[in-house]
Structure 1
Amino acid sequence: MSRLAENLALLLLDDETGKSTVDLGRRHRAVGSAVLLDLVRAGRLTIPATSDSEPRVQIVGSGSTGDAALDAALAKLSDSPKVGWAAENAGHEAWKPLLELLAEDGAIRLEEQRVLGVIKVKTWPAADPTRERAVRDAIAAALQGGRPDEETAVLITILHGIGQVPGAGDPAVKARAEEIAKTAAASGPLKDAFHGLDTLPAFILFAAS
């Protein structure tokens, strides 16, 4: 299930306008990083340690994952690309399916309008804020000194990597986010997925810049 990527997508959507709050490049790399981790957790992807300057992803198994967003990403990663390229392209391929999954879940809704009466534009404003509120509350608690669970720590790490941590204008909040990011990279799901590549969060998020 693309739970991590779905929750990140929620955080990167403006609740009222239904548009992305970050530019496409940062969004693709951030969401793609979450998608790669979801695939690792699903047992469908590995990123072996290597002496090369940049490792490659490796697909495990075949067939559908049962998740439209993860399947879209897997189809793009079939040639074992380098991890930076994989993150950016996974994020690009999975974005629309992620929004559709969130709409099915009732968290957001699809709105369509035409610009100049010709160009159709889709937006995804908030519908039921319950899920996003729970994610934001967990992030806020961690940034205020609480101990984050694995998913919250990874979300904070990715948000920190793209400069989107809530309240990071406060030096104390920014310092706490940096602390969580360093811990997440040194242990837990990031370390487990990427076999100790301690440069990971920034490496994935910006390798394809």
Structure 2
Amino acid sequence: MSALAQDLALLLLDDTSGRSTVDLGRRHRAVGSAVLLDLVRAGRVAVDRPEGDPKDARPVVLDAAPTGDATLDRALSLLTAKDRKLAWAAENIGHACWEPLMEALTDRGLVRRQEGRFLGLIRTSSWPAEDTSYEASVVARVRAAVTGEADGGPDESTVLLVMILDGIGALPAVLPGEDPRAVSERAGRLVAAHREHGPWAEAFKGLDSALITVLFAG
């Protein structure tokens, strides 16, 4: 299941307007990275990082069989269609998978689709919140992780959320009321402490600051 990507997409939506709280470029890279991580954690994709420049890293499909999750299946179809570098894959997967992610969140009753028109001509879609209780629980996990209040430490999914949100500079918007600089510093320490542990780090061959820069630069 595209659990990480769904949680991230929910956090990047404004509850009232239903629109993205970050520009589309950052949203695509963040969501695409989350989908890739969901695929890595499911054993469907690995990242091949040749020696040298991390910009040469590429996602490699290990198992292209349907997953039953529309978001993950869309991403797998893109990855199997053409060999691309990691940053390109994240950007394009994020763009292509936004609609299936929104459909999944709508099916869960967390958002609702709202149609409109820009300048009376161009059709637009937004996804205002329908039920904010689940999103509140995700925000609480992220806040506890970066403030050090999580009992026993944060779980893997929460660490990955913090990594992605910090990578695109979205943590202050997700955690209003917290000092932005302090939040970013604590997030950096948290990610560094967990980088060498867990199956996601192994699958990403030791995800480090260089690869994070590739994913979120721009």
Question: Structure 2 length normalisation: TM-score?
Answer: 0.88
> Secondary structure at the residue paired with 1:186?
coil
Query: Structure 1 residues 175, 62: closer, same or farther in 2, change over 3 A?
Result: closer
2:191 alignment partner in structure 1? 181
Query: Once the 2 structures are TM-superposed, how far is the Cα of residue 52 of structure 1 from its aligned partner?
Result: 4.7
Cα deviation digits, residues 148-181 of structure 1 (max 9, x gap): 1110111001110111112463433222111112
Tell me, yes or no, if the aligned pair for 1:32 and 1:86 is still in contact at 8 Å: yes
Query: Once the 2 structures are TM-superposed, how far is the Cα of residue 17 of structure 1 from its aligned partner?
Result: 0.2
Query: Structure 1 residues 36, 141: closer, same or farther in 2, change over 3 A?
Result: same
Tell me, yes or no, if the aligned pair for 1:154 and 1:190 is still in contact at 8 Å: no
Greater shift in the superposed pair: 95-104 or 179-188: 179-188
2:197 aligned with 1:196: no
2:152 aligned with 1:152: no
Greater shift in the superposed pair: 107-116 or 165-174: 165-174
1:141 alignment partner in structure 2? 144
1:115 alignment partner in structure 2? 118
Letter of the 1:138 counterpart: R
CA distance in 2 between partners of 1:180 and 1:190 (Å): 15
Query: Once the 2 structures are TM-superposed, how far is the Cα of residue 92 of structure 1 from its aligned partner?
Result: 0.9
CA distance in 2 between partners of 1:117 and 1:171 (Å): 41
What is the root-mean-square deviation of aligned Cα atoms in Å? 1.6
Cα deviation digits, residues 92-139 of structure 1 (max 9, x gap): 111111011000011100011233443221110000112111100101
Tell me, yes or no, if the aligned pair for 1:32 and 1:90 is still in contact at 8 Å: yes
CA distance in 1 between partners of 2:27 and 2:110 (Å): 19
Name stretches of at least 5 consecutive residues in structure 1 with no aligned partner.
none
CA distance in 1 between partners of 2:204 and 2:42 (Å): 15
Correspondences of 1:47-62 after superposition (within 5 Å): 47-53=47-53, 54-62=56-64
Query: Once the 2 structures are TM-superposed, how far is the Cα of residue 191 of structure 1 from its aligned partner?
Result: 1.6
Letter of the 2:194 counterpart: A
